[in-house]
Amino acid sequence: MDKIDRKILEYLLQDARTPFSEIAIHVGVSVDTVSKRYSKMKRTYLIQSATLFLDMSRDSTGLIACLNITAGTGHSSEIEDKLRDTKEVFLLGKTFGAYDFFALVTVSDIRSLDELRDRIAGIHDVKSCDVSILTTGLSLIPSNQLPVLTKAA
């Protein structure tokens, strides 16, 4: 990744819907260059997707919760598959540390969260499922990813 790629990413991290023509003007390259570099970053999985992110705090009918899940030995891929198939899970990651998985979920109320926790705890070889409820909106700060990418380059 060079300076041009980083500049393109800066604009896309601010707003993934920014037209390539606008990025090209700011970066000082052609639209074709932006398009080709974007395609390359997608092909190499640096850019995985451009996704809508809902601010659930603006909808008072639901809750966002963090689930920290501990798995037994030898079944983490099966647990991960079941978590991916859980409709309430909108972000999932395998972790290193005290827990094996981190999941963000949306539910309608506390009772639904309690039922979800029980369902997940009931998955074969799940040892624990700790829950925290977000009390304010979730802040997505995509531009904070760029310094990490810059250091890795």
What integer pLDDT is reported at residue 95 of this predicted model? 93
| CATH code at position 23 | 1.10.10.10
Query: 132: Cβ–Cβ under 8 A, 6 or more apart, which residues?
Result: 65, 66, 68
**Are 43 and 103 in a shared domain?**
no
Structural domain that includes position 32 = 3-51
Q: Determine the Cα–Cα distance for residues 131 and 129; give it in Å rounded to an integer.
A: 7
Residue 47: enclosing H or E segment and its boundaries? none
Considering the domain architecture, whether residues 61 and 127 belong to the same structural domain is answered as: yes
Give a yes or no: residue 151 inside a domain: no
**Tally of structural domains, the chain:** 2
Q: What is the pLDDT along the chain (153 residues), one digit of tens a residue?
A: 889 998 998 888 888 889 999 999 999 999 999 999 999 988 886 887 776 555 555 555 678 899 999 998 877 889 999 999 999 999 899 999 999 999 999 998 999 999 999 999 999 999 999 999 987 766 666 666 666 555 544
Assigned domain for 11 exists: yes
Task: Match 């705090």 to its residue by tokens.
Answer: 57
Cα torsion 104, 106, 111, 117: sign:
negative
Within a domain: residue 117? Answer: yes
| Prediction pTM value | 0.63
The domain that holds 89 is classified in CATH as 3.30.70.920
Give domain status of residue 79, yes or no. yes
DSSP 8-state code for residue 58: G
DSSP 75-128: -HHHHHHHHHT-TTEEEEEE-SSS-SEEEEEEESSHHHHHHHHHHHHTSTTEEE
